[in-house]
Amino acid sequence: MDKVLVVVADIPVTLEMALYGAAALVAALLFALVVTILRQSALRHEATLEAAAASAEQLRANFTELIADRDSRIRDLDRALLHERQRADHLVGEERDKNGELRSELAAMRTRLDEQARQNEMNLKRFVDARQQMTDEFKLIAGEVLQTHSETFTKQNREQVDVLLKPLHEKITEFHQGLIKDRSAMSEQIRALAESNLQITTEAHNLTRALKGNSQTQGAWGEMILSTILEQSGLREGEQFITQTSHSGEDGQRVRTDVEVLMPNNDRLIIDSKVSLTAFEAFVNAEDETREMHLRAHIASVRNHITTLGDKAYHRAAKSSMDYVMMFVPIESAVATAIQNDVKLVEFGMSRGVMLTTPTTLMTVLRTIRNVWDIERRHRNADEIAARAGALYDKVAGFLATMDRVGGH
């Protein structure tokens, strides 16, 4: 009986334990499930955060790249703006320098012309005084002759005196009128010089585009400009300058000069036209990255022309005492640009016996030579007047001696 009760009593104890075990198992499973769910949620959240961080990092990188690109473009624009400002300042400076040079040359020309006018007025005054003195002396002599020998002074003798005096009077009058004409023309020459220089420079720039790329056309155009300057200088072709003259060079080959300006002392100045336009036109119209290249090409072209002209030695072939040839370039700005960027260009030319010249400087030289010719002509007239006056004096003296002998008889 006791054994049965024990067994029966053990049964409830075992079920309770089983229930507790089952509950614990369920709780453990639930806990594991919750932990698993939380862990998966945490992993998904972590992946979301990592994706968001990566996206933010990519946005930050893109934004940084955009800022860097913007800063680079701003720097490029600043450099371009600075370059354009410097270029504009340089162009303004060039024009200011050119205007200053033209004003200086014009002032120098006016000073020379004023000095020449003063010398002409002094010469005119001396000749007028001399003429008046001679006239007074002749009147005095004639009066004495008439008073002393009135009975023998016939109409024929008076006509002879008039014949003697008339050429001298005409020559002095002609000389006086020439001086007045030269003086009145000086101001007109100054104005014509300024206008012709402006016209030549304008024509040169207008024809630049039409001439680029054709060397033969450029050469013909340069010779045309040179011919125009010679005409406007007042020099007479055939008397004071000659063109296309052939000579025998030092190597026996025939050479032909463009222009030879003749001097009063039988010397001559050789001028040869050279046009260096293609590279200069490309330099003027080039973009920033190619301007330097075209500038170097332009300077090299000018140096090549100098070397070629120096090797020909036209001045020695023409037997000129001058040790150089003038290389005429019809575009002022082309020469100015080359000299500004190659400070030894002029020295290089002189070492080769070549002097660079432009329309402005050449016109000044030719006008000066023309004034030298005018002075030489006036000197010759003065010598001729003096010679005629001497001959007249000898004739008058001989006439008076004859009259004295007649009076003695």
Query: Which 3 state secondary structure label does DSSP give 110?
Result: helix
Mean pLDDT of 359-385: 84
**Contacts of residue 201, Cβ cutoff 8 Å, sequence gap at least 6:** 332, 359, 360
Distance in angstroms (rounded) separating the CA atoms of residues 307 and 312: 9
Mean pLDDT of 255-268: 85
Residue 18 has pLDDT above 60, yes or no: yes
Token pair belonging to 14: 């075992």
Output the pLDDT for position 1: 43
Question: What pLDDT, in 10s, does the model give residues 92-148?
Answer: 787 788 778 878 877 887 788 788 778 777 877 776 776 677 667 666 665 665 565
Output the pLDDT for position 347: 92
Output the pLDDT for position 4: 41
Highest mean pLDDT of the ranges 2-11, 164-173, 282-291, 383-392: 282-291
Question: What pLDDT, in 10s, does the model give residues 292-347?
Answer: 888 898 999 999 999 988 888 888 887 888 888 899 998 888 889 999 998 899 99
Distance in angstroms (rounded) separating the CA atoms of residues 131 and 169: 8
Pair type for strands 354-357 and 325-328: parallel
Query: Which 3 state secondary structure label does DSSP give 319?
Result: coil
Three-class secondary structure assignment of 324-372: CEEEECCCHHHHHHHHHHCCCHHHHHHHCCEEEECHHHHHHHHHHHHHH
54-63, 110-119, 384-393: the lowest-pLDDT one: 384-393
One-letter amino acid identity for 88?
A
118-122, 218-222, 361-365, 401-405: the lowest-pLDDT one: 401-405
Distance in angstroms (rounded) separating the CA atoms of residues 245 and 315: 12
Distance in angstroms (rounded) separating the CA atoms of residues 265 and 373: 10
Mean pLDDT of 265-294: 83
* Burial of 171 from C-beta contacts in 10 A (0-12 / 13-18 / 19+): middle
Q: What is the DSSP letter of 144?
A: H
Beta-sheet strands, E only, within 151-307: 241-248, 254-262, 268-273
Question: What pLDDT, in 10s, does the model give residues 182-226?
Answer: 666 665 665 666 566 666 666 656 555 555 556 677 778 888 888
Distance in angstroms (rounded) separating the CA atoms of residues 179 and 175: 6
Token pair belonging to 346: 């002029």
**How many CB atoms are closer than 10 A to CB 348?**
16
Output the pLDDT for position 328: 92
- pLDDT above 90 covers a percentage of the chain that reads 6
Output the pLDDT for position 24: 84
Q: What are phi and psi of 325, to 5 degrees?
A: -115, 140
Q: Which of 367, 366, 376 is nearest to 264 (CA)?
A: 376
Q: Which of 299, 365, 278, 279 is nearest to 328 (CA)?
A: 365
pTM above 0.75, yes or no: no
Distance in angstroms (rounded) separating the CA atoms of residues 132 and 44: 130
DSSP letters for 273-293: E----HHHHHHHH--HHHHHH
CB 186 within 8 A of CB 113: yes
CA distances from 349 to 42, 257, 345, 354, 388 (A): 89, 18, 6, 5, 50
